């Protein structure tokens, strides 16, 4: 799965999670949402389900008849339990004979007519109906959105299929399915597997029959029905189909046409052909995730159907989403994690294959830049550091975190580097063939790679997967002229505690002298050690882990001239990026600014030019501003220009910057640059910003791109005169993404106005999930504790989609913290008045300041990443 905010750049989601996670630590919540961490013991093997569904669309009701074919696993079994939440069970038969049944809040229990023994088979038929609180979603035209196409779609992962089908709902079982859907004649449907038949039914309806003959887990069951446009292609005789909400069919191929090429690449790399009978991608409105890899039938958010006018401005477009969900068809669907604690076996591989596609399809520099960003993103989430990738203690946070995704992908990337491409894919092929159609734990992967290659990876997995964190290196060197020898001192400075230990890593070290570069491989394994390397002269550049293959942070003690040389001469983007970041720390150094300016204009990799622009923005002084302005003349690519324009938002008190931003905001050829210019004007709190933003809100652009940027910018601007505009565009009836932007900014204005808090809180229960998310986060950032009860009652509802509960919980914790520091503030003033214990008052104030700065930094980071990478 890919989460809503992570689409196209999962980093975004992570930034937001980071924000709340720190605050959440002190608060203990009842276990209302955590998934079952360990695989269940099973009494039976569910083998096949015939799922027959009709819908009362107006009532948002499902009317179901499901027949489960199952085999008993233990002698003496006297009853069969199904997961079933909120469904009204009308009748049950066992082998066609009417049967008694009981229901609890979460179970349907069917006593067997006699005690059964192992191997005995039963057909259990259940007739039921219900209005699913989640799992199955009805997106329908209403008074606010009278023209939207009707859609019904499901989202099973992680434990929501039970809300619309009584079934065995945990990953450690697999079944084949037949799905029979009766819908209005003008609708189409999508379900797992092959389309067998479409026939006329009474009352101007049609009945669609789908059959999936390969077994997979219940969370991968899918149903999509409604008014859709369809495009059909094929790959090696397998149907490849795409569905867009009616009227948006022309947007499918410009964004999705690389799908067959990806199927080709992954099949070849893995030596295991795409395994399912078809591959469909259905794009649906208001989706609760970014994408979901249901077996043979992915569902994605319709916001991945980007306007053709914007596509050229997004290098790689929607490829990360498309390749991620496709890779899951092998990793997740064909071979499935046995429990949620091993979810990285799904998500880590899906993330790795985003990189595999980039490496194959795009220039090396682009793939390197994407990986560089992934490393930076994981490093920016200190709350993940102490948690192992495989863990079963996710009561207080989602297991779908950036350890499973980002770190999982980067660790697999490292593994491929360490054992080599051939051994890596030989191991994966053996893993997929051995466990095809089965459920796995991490040990199965270790064993498969060993069996295929005779390579024992236990230590690697102990450190990177079962252990936590990543090495924090401190590196320095001296050169001995007489011995022609370099002494490289490497320390691992991470605190060894909990799951974090000392890492054993092979590291490539490149030493460049006047006669050229030489590559050495050292084996780092201690807290501190010194490596002696031959060198034919004094080095001009020493690179530790050149190319940045290892997930790590490193403090390399170098002189400025070395960083300048490295920025200009290092072959790999990661090494030049490291130099750019080091030089940015020199703040007011003219040489550093000039060197970054040269990189911004002349580096061959556009990704590095982005890094240089960001570095200059971080320096934030007049000289850096001058280089950024000059960079606009040299860079025509929209994805570099927009970074430069974004970085200009950090250059304060320079009228030339504001003039330039105003001009770009209204007339640049790049929409992303115009959008970032609008946001930089807000961040700079420019006097001319309000009219420019107001105009931009009123104007039209593809996908409302500029309006949405202007609305977000009104939040940074912090001018309360923007409130009426924001209230207007937050309201039901406006486009969903526009409302998301307006609500986020509204949260930041007139912070004492309880009416605004109440307006935002009123959106918490809307059926539009993206709006719910926007309201949850806006209330958290608003800091008005009067929103706590509304958030708490949201938490009690049974219709929270995946990942929503942890987000709500984090924002409540944030508000409680805010409330506490406000109380602390009162105490502080009292103490000052009374005049005693002045030291304590000062300490309190410092604490508050520190807290405030941390919060502001977090917010800024979260917002910036949302803006630059949306
Ligand atoms: Zn995924």
pLDDT at residue 17 tops 50: no
pTM score over 0.85: yes
Q: Which residue, 567, 523, 514, is CA-closest to 543?
A: 567
Looking at residue 22, its pLDDT comes to: 29
pLDDT the model gives residue 241:
98
Distance between Cα 298 and ligand 1 center (Å): 11
pLDDT of residue 862: 53
Residue showing tokens 């990799």: 605
Radius of gyration of the chain (CA): 28
Distance in Å, CA 292 to ligand 1 centroid: 7
Q: What is the distance in A from the centroid of ligand 1 to the CA of 274? A: 17
Question: Which pLDDT tens digit goes with each residue over 337-355?
Answer: 999 999 999 999 999 999 9
Task: For residues 530 and 6, give the distance between their C-alpha atoms in angstroms, rounded to a whole number.
Answer: 41
Q: Are 301 and 284 in contact (CB under 8 A)?
A: yes
What's residue 805's pLDDT?
86
Tell me which of 256-265, 782-791, 848-857 is least confident: 848-857
Backbone angles phi and psi of 228, in degrees to 5: -130, 150
Cα–ligand 1 centroid distance for 331 (angstroms):
9
Using an 8 Å Cβ cutoff, are 741 and 733 in contact? no
pLDDT of residue 833: 37
What spacing in Å lies between the alpha carbon of 652 and ligand 1's midpoint?
40
pLDDT over 90, % of the chain = 87
CA of 291 to the centre of ligand 1 (A): 7
Mean pLDDT, residues 379-386: 96
| pLDDT-derived band at 33, boundaries 50, 70, 90 | low
- Among 445-454, 613-622, 671-680, 841-850, which stretch is predicted with the lowest mean pLDDT? 841-850
Residue 9, pLDDT above cutoff 60: no
The tokens for 837 are 């214990």
Paired strand residues for 136:
154
Q: Find where tokens 């669907």 sit.
A: 333
861 band by pLDDT with thresholds 50, 70 and 90: low
> In this structure, are strands 102-103 and 44-56 parallel, antiparallel, or unpaired?
unpaired
Q: Summarize pLDDT for 768-790 with one digit per residue, the tens.
A: 889 999 999 999 999 999 999 99
Between the CA of 405 and the centroid of ligand 1 the distance, in Å, is 8
Q: pLDDT at position 267, please?
A: 98
Mean pLDDT taken over the chain: 92
- Three-state SS string over 200-225 comes to EECCCEEEEEEEEEEEECHHHCCEEE
For residue 343, report the distance from its CA to the centre of ligand 1, in Å.
9
The pLDDT assigned to 759 comes to 95
Q: Which of 325, 327, 351, 354 is nearest to 432 (CA)?
A: 327
| pLDDT band, residue 217 (cuts 50/70/90) | very high
CA of residue 855 to ligand 1 center, whole Å: 30
Here the tokens at position 718 are 């912090």
DSSP state of 41: P
Which residues make beta-bridge pairs with 2?
Answer: 291
Distance from residue 328's CA to the centre of ligand 1 (Å): 7
Strand, helix or coil for residue 539: coil
**How many Å apart are CA 648 and CA 190, to the nearest integer?**
47
pLDDT band of residue 865 (cuts 50, 70, 90) is low
- Identify the weakest region by mean pLDDT among 20-24, 564-568, 660-664, 820-824: 20-24
Angle between helices 590-602 and 622-634 (to 10 degrees): 10
For residues 583-604, give the mean pLDDT.
Answer: 97
Higher pLDDT, 119 or 818: 119
Q: What are phi and psi of 864, to 5 degrees?
A: -60, -45
Residue 28: what pLDDT? 32
CB 216 within 8 A of CB 336: yes
Can you spell out the DSSP letters for 535-559?
A: -SS--SEEEESTT--S--EEEE---
Residue 709 class from Cβ within 10 Å (0-12 exposed, 13-18 middle, 19+ buried)? Answer: buried
Question: Is pLDDT of 12 > 80?
Answer: no
Helix (H, G, I), strand (E, B) or coil at 51: strand
Q: Please, are residues 150 and 226 in contact by the beta-carbon 8 Å criterion?
A: yes
* Residue in the structure block whose two tokens are 């490149």: 510
Lowest mean pLDDT of 473-477, 670-674, 764-768, name the range: 764-768
278 CA to middle of ligand 1, Å?
Answer: 19
Tell me, what's the pLDDT at 14?
28
pLDDT value at position 397? Answer: 77
Contact between 722 and 690 (Cβ < 8 Å): yes
Per-residue pLDDT of 135-155, as tens digits, reads: 999 999 999 999 999 999 999
399 Cα: distance to centroid of ligand 1 (angstroms): 12
């Amino acid at each position: 799965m890919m989460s809503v905010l992570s689409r196209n750049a999962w980093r975004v989601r992570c930034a937001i999670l980071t924000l709340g996670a720190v605050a959440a630590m002190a608060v203990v919540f009842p276990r209302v949402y955590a998934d079952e961490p360990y695989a269940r013991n099973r009494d039976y093997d569910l083998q096949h389900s015939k799922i027959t569904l009709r819908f009362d669309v107006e009532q948002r009701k499902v009317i179901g008849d499901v027949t489960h074919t199952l085999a008993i696993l233990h002698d003496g079994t006297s009853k069969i339990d199904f997961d079933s939440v909120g469904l009204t069970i009308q009748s049950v038969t066992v082998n066609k004979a009417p049967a008694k049944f009981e229901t609890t809040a979460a179970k349907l229990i069917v006593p067997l007519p006699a005690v059964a023994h192992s191997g005995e088979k039963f057909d259990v038929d259940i007739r039921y109906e219900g209005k699913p609180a989640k799992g199955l979603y009805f997106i329908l035209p209403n008074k606010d959105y009278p023209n939207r196409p009707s859609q019904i779609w499901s989202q099973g992962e992680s434990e929501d299929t039970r809300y619309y089908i009584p079934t065995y709902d945990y990953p450690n079982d697999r079944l084949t399915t037949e799905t029979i859907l009766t819908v209005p004649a003008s609708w189409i449907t999508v379900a797992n597997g092959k389309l067998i038949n479409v026939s006329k039914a009474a009352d101007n309806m049609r009945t669609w029959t789908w059959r999936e003959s390969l077994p997979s887990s219940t969370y991968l069951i899918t149903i999509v029905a409604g008014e859709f446009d369809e495009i059909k292609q094929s790959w090696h005789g397998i149907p490849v189909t795409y569905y867009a909400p009616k009227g948006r069919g022309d947007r499918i191929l410009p964004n999705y046409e690389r799908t067959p090429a990806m199927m080709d690449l992954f099949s070849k790399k893995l030596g295991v052909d795409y395994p399912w009978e078809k591959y469909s991608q259905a794009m649906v409105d208001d989706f609760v995730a970014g994408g979901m890899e249901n077996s043979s039938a992915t569902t994605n958010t319709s916001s991945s159907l980007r306007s053709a006018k914007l596509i050229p401005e997004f290098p790689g477009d929607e490829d990360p989403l498309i390749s991620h969900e496709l890779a899951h068809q092998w990793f997740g669907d064909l071979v499935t994690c046995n429990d949620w604690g091993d979810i990285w076996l799904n998500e880590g591989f899906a993330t790795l294959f985003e990189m595999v596609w980039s490496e194959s399809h795009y220039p090396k520099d682009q793939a390197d830049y994407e990986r560089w960003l992934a490393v930076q993103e994981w490093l920016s989430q200190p709350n993940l550091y102490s948690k192992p990738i495989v863990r079963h203690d996710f009561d207080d946070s989602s297991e779908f975190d950036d350890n499973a995704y980002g770190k999982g992908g980067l660790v697999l990337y490292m593994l491929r580097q360490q054992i080599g491409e051939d051994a890596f894919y030989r191991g994966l092929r053996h893993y997929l063939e051995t466990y095809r159609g089965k459920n796995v734990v991490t040990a199965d992967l270790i064993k498969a790679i060993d069996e295929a290659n005779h390579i024992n990876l236990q230590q690697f997995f102990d450190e990177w997967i079962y252990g936590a964190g990543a090495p924090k290196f401190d590196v320095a060197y001296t050169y001995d002229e007489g011995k022609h020898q370099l002494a490289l001192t490497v320390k691992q400075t991470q605190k060894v505690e909990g799951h974090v230990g000392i890492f054993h890593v092979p590291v490539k070290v490149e030493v460049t002298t006047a006669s050229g570069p030489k590559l050495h491989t050292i084996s780092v394994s201690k807290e501190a050690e010194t490596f002696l390397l031959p060198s034919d002269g004094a080095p001009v550049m020493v690179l530790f882990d050149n190319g940045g293959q290892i997930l790590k942070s490193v403090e390399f003690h170098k002189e400025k001239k070395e960083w300048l040389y490295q920025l200009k001469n290092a072959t790999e983007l990661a090494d030049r990026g490291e130099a750019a970041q080091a030089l940015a720390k020199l703040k007011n150094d003219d040489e550093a600014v000039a060197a970054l300016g040269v990189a911004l204009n002349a580096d061959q990799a556009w990704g590095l030019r982005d890094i240089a622009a960001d570095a200059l923005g971080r320096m934030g002084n007049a000289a850096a501003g001058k280089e950024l302005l000059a960079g606009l003349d040299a860079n025509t690519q929209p994805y570099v220009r927009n970074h430069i324009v974004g970085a200009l938002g950090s250059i304060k008190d320079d009228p030339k910057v504001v003039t330039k931003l105003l001009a770009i905001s209204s007339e640049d050829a790049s929409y992303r640059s115009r959008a970032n210019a609008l946001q930089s004007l807000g961040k700079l709190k420019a006097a001319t910003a309000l009219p420019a933003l107001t105009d931009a809100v009123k104007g039209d652009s593809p996908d409302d791109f500029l309006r949405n940027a202007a609305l977000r910018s009104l939040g940074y601007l912090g001018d309360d005169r923007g409130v009426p505009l924001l209230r207007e565009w937050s309201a039901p009836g406006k486009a969903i993404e526009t409302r998301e932007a307006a609500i986020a900014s509204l949260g930041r204005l007139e912070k004492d106005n309880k009416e605004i808090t109440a307006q935002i809180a009123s959106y918490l229960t809307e059926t539009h999930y993206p709006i719910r998310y926007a309201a949850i986060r806006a209330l958290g950032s608003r800091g008005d504790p009067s929103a706590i009860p509304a958030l708490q009652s949201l938490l009690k509802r049974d219709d929270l989609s995946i990942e929503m509960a942890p987000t709500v919980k984090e924002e409540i914790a944030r508000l409680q913290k805010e409330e506490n520091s406000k109380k602390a503030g009162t105490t502080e003033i009292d103490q000052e008045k009374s005049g005693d214990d002045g030291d304590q008052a000062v300490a309190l104030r410092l604490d508050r300041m520190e807290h405030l700065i941390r919060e502001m930094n977090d917010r800024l980071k979260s917002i910036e990443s949302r803006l630059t990478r949306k």
